[in-house]
């Protein structure tokens, strides 16, 4: 049997363990570890970023196959500008190249692509490719692919706070009208359900300023695998782990035939 067939069989076996009724609708991913992957191989960091793109394609396919509806990836953070100019320029160029190459296929699959973050500092050619891609796919409704670029969770929250403060000072809203729902509707992710699952690769156990508001109750799965080595099999493992969690949202798991009063108070 060829290697491809063996891998395909392994993935099939694993996906049989997945409860199709409980697949997360929205998965957020911190694709981390590109640089370390390349360095380990004695290659420039850029090789890791390039390999990371093909992994992303595989994961998008796997997520669609499984029945997920939204994938949100962290591609460039507001803090990533502190990297050497050469690496930042490489990444910006990579975004343009990949988008130009992949947008037709994305569109054919009826995927809507949305860029989340402050696009202002990016070069005009990238901004143009982004706005064309968003316009082309805006009516697609099979799958939503959010790409966070120059994104920071704190910056997003401050932006919303400013907008609401302005609306309040101009009399458009009353201060007492500010609530979670209104705040949520002004976020860059408005209209999209919060992620049920966050995956971070490369073993780092932090959020790094990603979707601070939206991740409030997401399940977190940390994979030790570096992003360029991540694959469908590892993604399915994350989903299986997610399905084993008990999501309580601050409550308690219901115990059949027993109430809190019965078990704790009545004696
Ligand atoms: C993630 O990989 C990609 C981006 C942040 C753009 P890194 O580039 O952070 O790789 P490591 O963490 O240095 O290995
Ligand atoms: C988070 O990874 C940002 C992206 C994946 C785009 P980083 O590598 O920038 O995060 P830190 O520096 O480890 O927190
Ligand atoms: Mg990193």
Residue 222 CB partners (closer than 8 Å, separation 6+): 199, 200, 203, 204, 205
> Atom 13 (ligand 1): residue with closest C-alpha?
35
User: What is the C-alpha separation between 32 and 56, in angstroms, rounded?
Assistant: 12
Interval between CA 232 and ligand 2 midpoint (Å): 22
Q: Is the CB of 89 under 6 A from ligand 2?
A: no
pLDDT in tens, 217-244: 999 999 999 999 999 999 999 999 999 9
Q: Give kind and range of the element (H or E) at residue 39.
A: helix 34-40
Q: Is the CB of 201 under 6 A from ligand 2?
A: no
Of 32, 34, 146, 229, which one is the catalytic site residue?
A: 32
User: What is the C-alpha separation between 33 and 16, in angstroms, rounded?
Assistant: 29
Three-state SS at 58: helix
Residue 256 CB partners (closer than 8 Å, separation 6+): none
67's tokens:
């029945």
pLDDT in tens, 201-217: 999 999 999 999 999 99
Question: Of 174, 220, 228, 176, whose CA–CA distance to 200 is shortest?
Answer: 220
How far the first Cα of the chain sits from its last, in Å, is 65
pLDDT at 253 over 90: no
| CA-37 nearest atom, ligand 1 | 14
pTM as predicted = 0.95
- Tell me which residues have their CB within 5 A of the ion that is ligand 3: 32
pLDDT in tens, 37-83: 999 999 999 999 999 999 999 999 999 999 999 999 999 999 999 99
> Atom 3 (ligand 2): residue with closest C-alpha?
77
Angle formed by the axes of helices 124-137 and 85-108, nearest 10° = 20
pLDDT at 267 over 60: no
Interval between CA 222 and ligand 2 midpoint (Å): 14
pLDDT in tens, 119-147: 999 999 999 999 999 999 999 999 999 99
231's tokens:
């694959």
Residue ranges per structural domain of the chain: 24-152+196-245
pLDDT at 3: 87
Is 32 one of the catalytic residues? yes
pLDDT at 265 over 60: no
How far, CA to CA in Å, does 45 sit from each of 41, 51, 154, 168, 199? Answer: 10, 10, 28, 47, 22
pLDDT in tens, 145-194: 999 999 999 999 999 999 999 999 999 999 999 999 999 999 999 999 99
CATH superfamily of 24-152+196-245: Decaprenyl diphosphate synthase-like (3.40.1180.10)
Q: Is the CB of 83 under 6 A from ligand 1?
A: no
Q: Is the CB of 59 under 6 A from ligand 1?
A: no
CB 115 within 8 A of CB 135: no
């Amino acid at each position: 049997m060829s290697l491809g067939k063996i891998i395909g069989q392994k993935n099939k076996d694993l996906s049989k363990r997945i409860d199709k009724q409980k697949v997360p609708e929205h998965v957020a991913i911190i694709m981390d570890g590109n640089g370390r992957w390349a360095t380990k191989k004695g290659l420039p960091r850029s090789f890791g970023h390039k390999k990371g793109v093909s992994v992303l394609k595989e994961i998008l396919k796997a997520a669609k196959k499984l029945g997920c509806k939204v994938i949100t990836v962290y591609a460039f953070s507001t803090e990533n500008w502190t990297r050497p100019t050469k690496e930042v320029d490489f990444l910006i160029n990579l975004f343009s190249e990949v988008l130009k190459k992949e947008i037709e296929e994305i569109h054919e699959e009826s995927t809507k692509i949305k860029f989340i973050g402050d696009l202002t500092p990016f070069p005009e050619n990238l901004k143009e490719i982004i706005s064309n891609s968003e316009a082309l796919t805006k009516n697609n409704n099979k799958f939503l692919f959010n790409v966070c670029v120059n994104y920071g969770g704190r910056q997003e929250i401050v932006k919303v706070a400013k907008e609401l403060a302005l609306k309040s000072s101009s009399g458009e809203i009353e201060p007492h009208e500010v609530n979670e729902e209104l705040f949520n509707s002004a976020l860059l992710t408005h209209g999209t359900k919060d992620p049920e699952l966050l995956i971070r690769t490369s073993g780092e156990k932090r959020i790094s300023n990603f979707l601070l508001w939206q991740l409030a109750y997401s399940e977190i799965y940390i994979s030790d695998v570096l992003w360029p080595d991540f694959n469908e099999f590892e993604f399915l493992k994350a989903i299986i782990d997610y399905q084993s969690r008990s999501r309580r949202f601050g409550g308690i798991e219901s115990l059949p035939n027993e109430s809190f009063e019965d078990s704790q108070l009545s004696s």
